[in-house]
Structure 1
Amino acid sequence: MSNFDISKIKILKNEPLSKYTFTETGGPADSLAFPKNREELISLVDYCHDENISITVIGNASNLIIKDGGIRGMVIILPEFKNIEVEGQNITAEAGATIIETTKVASKFSLSGLEFAAGIPGSVGGAVFMNAGAYGGEISECLESAEILMPNGKIVIFSNNDMNFSYRMSAVQSNGGIVISATFALTPGKHDVIQAKMDELNELRRSKQPLEYPSCGSVFKRPKGHFTGPLIIKAGLQGHWVGGAQVSEKHAGFIVNRNHTATATDYLELIKLIQKTIKEKFDVDLETEVRIIGEDK
């Protein structure tokens, strides 16, 4: 049994996760913990291991759907893990720091390589976990190493190779580890050029994506030889509603909680409808990029 006094950590019981997700949907967590530092995080993981309590880390919950039944066991969010440090051409950011804030630091120090990520709304931990990408760039292209807390309570440094990155995949998705921090290897550049590229991509994002509504970001992986948005438009599903969830009229690759009334079930039913229709009309299998976790209600 663990001797750790769990009362030292901020833990909310039966907390609705809809308060924390970008979709504004999701059922309750049995327990939602906010460890403030590594010592608390390691102790919490040890405690859960000793007590046989399952652990789920949800990061910034931007590319995530949590089902309406919520999540059993211990859910962990790391908003206090937000330190960002620059050493030479490397930036090390803790898991709870946002990717957007990390790209701002890169620009400030005239370091190039993270421009593609300027508008990605996720946390650093989530971006590493998902190998997040946008506009032709991916985390795998600039990650030097990541500090991972393994289920046995040991912190291990994973090199880029160790992360076994592929499209929206990393080793952390299968090894049960928790990203604590990530170090990005960047190259010196001109501040004005770097900032101009970030501004350009952010403007592109604003003009093309439905940022004014709650959403889970890009819903589907890009199918080989196709673009998801145009397929959905051709299938006549742009603007289609299921409950409170709508295929965005601005970008058909997004599903929005337009009236703030959607449930996770609405999202999932609309996703299934899109997949079924695209398969029937074009014989194309759409795989979800968004992570779907939790239990049905």
Structure 2
Amino acid sequence: MDHLKAKLEELNIGNIVENEPLKNHTTWKIGGPAKLFFEPFSIEGLQKAIKEIVNANVTWFVIGRGSNLLVSDKGINGVVIKLGEDLAHLEEEGEVIRVGAGYSLIKLATIISKKGLSGLEFAGGIPGTVGGAVFMNAGAHGSDISHILRRAHVLLPDGTFTWYSNEEMNFSYRTSRLQKERGICLEAEFQLKAGDKEKITKEMQKNKDYRRESQPWKSPTCGSVFRNPLPQHAGKLIEDAGLKGFSIGDAQISEMHANFIVNKGNATAQNVLDLINHVQQTIYIKFGVKMETEVELVGETSIK
């Protein structure tokens, strides 16, 4: 690892920190240290870094704003790559926009709605970055990324670039190709539609307000914890099981929305895992429904 750090520093392609606490980079404010924390200055710099990391046979993981993520208390014994402001460009050409993976999804939805372009209204309250949204096929209010993505620019582990079309991304509910095959979303091209600016802005703001009023965004949380076992809804099942407000350590099922777990101050990843396990067992016993997590578990974590 020391040799890899020295090589990355020599290339001068990004900021590098050793043993960086990942709780500082997740919306849950949970997570142990990353052995190496790397934030590239550019796509080209990231390409060079991936080649060095893969050649060194070192574990690597990519984050954006750290939503929808539960990092082990032991952290990650490898390289954590953060796609930040240096990969947050925005280009517009008519009804098509190209956006860097590090761009805030909420910020993008707000800016685009004010320009009178429709398609991103559903994202008005979704935390995270464009890259993370593509990875997870993020969605809300009856729409998701698969409805608007034309293609995704992806860096493969061998250091080559490719563009995946919408069809090639193999989207399904909260799922994409990138969850099954290694690759880093660098940019996304979205196909939007021109419309009435006032109507689009109003719809986007309504979605944003709905999230603020119904979900606990003032507390550290990752977003929705469980996938909806359609046609049922995770939050409703958890609430019907009487689990709202149930706590393990400082991890608590939100009293505002039961599909959210909040960090009341010093929650650990293990507290959250134990709470997830308790919910899964309770729901299965009461309703015979298997609850699958939407949140991504990273590092030495496991669901019993």
TM-score (norm 1): 0.96
**8 Å Cα contact 1:148/1:181 also seen in 2:** yes
Q: For structure 1, list consecutive stretches of 5 or more residues without a partner in the other structure.
A: none
Question: Over aligned residue pairs, what C-alpha RMSD do you find?
Answer: 1.5
Q: Look up the match of 1:205.
A: 211
In the alignment, the residues of structure 2 paired with residue 131 and residue 160 of structure 1 have an alpha-carbon distance, to the nearest angstrom, of: 11
Q: How far apart, in 2, do the equivalents of 1:57 and 1:227 lie? A: 29
Q: How far apart are 1:59 and its partner, in Å?
A: 1.6
Aligned equivalents of 2:228 and 2:280: distance in 1? 13
User: Does 2:189 match 1:222?
Assistant: no
Matching of residue 61 in structure 1 with residue 66 in structure 2: yes
**Whole-angstrom CA distance in 1 between matches of 2:185 and 2:112:** 20
Contact 2:110–2:204, Cα closer than 8 Å, also in 1:
no
**Match in the other structure for 1:49:** 54
Structure 1 segments of 4+ aligned residues over 3 angstroms from their partners = none
Aligned to 1:291: 296
Aligned partners of 2:249, 2:109: CA distance in 1, in Å?
Answer: 37
Instruction: State the match for 2:95 in structure 1.
Output: 89
Q: Amino acid of the residue matched to residue 40 of structure 1?
A: G
Q: Provide the residue aligned with 1:189 in structure 2.
A: 195
Identity %: 44
For residues 1-297 of structure 1, the aligned pairs below 5 Å read 5-7=7-9, 8=12, 9-79=14-84, 80-258=86-264, 260-296=265-301
Secondary structure of 2:152's aligned partner: strand
Deviation of 1:225 (Å): 2.8
Paired residues of 1:81 and 1:95 also in contact (CA < 8 A): yes
The Cα shift of 1:296 comes to 4.7
> C-alpha separation between the residues in 1 aligned to 2:152 and 2:185?
7
Assess if the C-alpha contact under 8 Å between 1:22 and 1:215 holds in 2: yes
Q: Deviations over 1:231-285 (max 9, x none)?
A: 1122111100000000000001100012x11111111100000000000011011
Asked whether the equivalents of residues 130 and 188 of structure 2 are also in contact (C-alpha less than 8 Å), the reply is yes
Q: Contact 1:148–1:158 at 8 Å: present in 2 too?
A: yes
> What is the rounded CA distance, in whole Å, between the counterparts of 1:72 and 1:160 in structure 2?
33
Structure 2 CA distance, aligned partners of 1:96 and 1:69?
26
Distance in 2, Cα, partners of 1:94 & 1:287: 30
In the TM superposition, residue 44 of structure 1 has moved relative to its aligned partner by 0.4
Q: Render the CA deviation track for 1:92-126: whole Å, top value 9, x for unaligned.
A: 11000011121123112211011001111110000
Structure 2 residue matching 1:183: 3-state secondary structure: strand
Write the distance in 2 (CA, Å) between the matches of 1:56 and 1:296: 15
Pick which of 102-111 and 43-52 moved more: 102-111
Question: Retained in 2: the 8 A contact 1:70–1:296?
Answer: no
Distance 1:105 1:224 in 2: 32
Asked if 1 retains the 8 angstrom alpha-carbon contact of 2:156 and 2:162, the reply is yes
Contact map agreement 1:91 1:106 (CA 8 A) in 2: no
